[in-house]
Amino acid sequence: MDLRWFPPKDAQRLLQLGIETGLLESRKGAIRPTFEVTSIEVPRDFAPTASVFETPTPVAEDLFVAIVDAIAARTGSERRAVIANVNAIQDRLDVDVEVAALVAARTAGIDVSPFVTRVRARLGMP
């Protein structure tokens, strides 16, 4: 955020990705790298792109799978069909896959409130 690579909301999301992937840890209110920073060389002109947000993390995959499983259980559909439907919603609405999964779940008549807080946290939203 200090380097103005991303707006604050995206910087928060990037921080969350760093924690989820294990590159960063939160300890005693401070964020610290989990690796030796002096072992990494960063080019002077480095600037991350938005593709960094597409990095899959175990937390994101677990959340997505939990929502997909809930939809499959409720509708009796195969997981593959549910994922195809979620992907279609994601393409149509141009939203994150977790948000698309929530839309699909709600459409299937599932109470999405147990998932909303986790999706918001995953996306770096308060």
Q: Is the distance from CB of 103 to CB of 92 less than 8 angstroms?
A: no
Q: What is the pLDDT of residue 86?
A: 94
Residue type, 55: T
Residue with tokens 């002096």: 38
Q: For residue range 61-115, what is the model confidence (pLDDT) as tens digits?
A: 788 889 999 999 999 999 999 999 999 999 999 988 889 999 999 999 999 999 9
Residue with tokens 């770096």: 124
Residue type, 53: F
Q: For residue range 38-63, what is the model confidence (pLDDT) as tens digits?
A: 888 888 888 888 777 776 666 667 88
Domain range annotation of the chain: 8-54, 58-122
Q: What is the pLDDT of residue 58?
A: 62
Residue type, 100: A
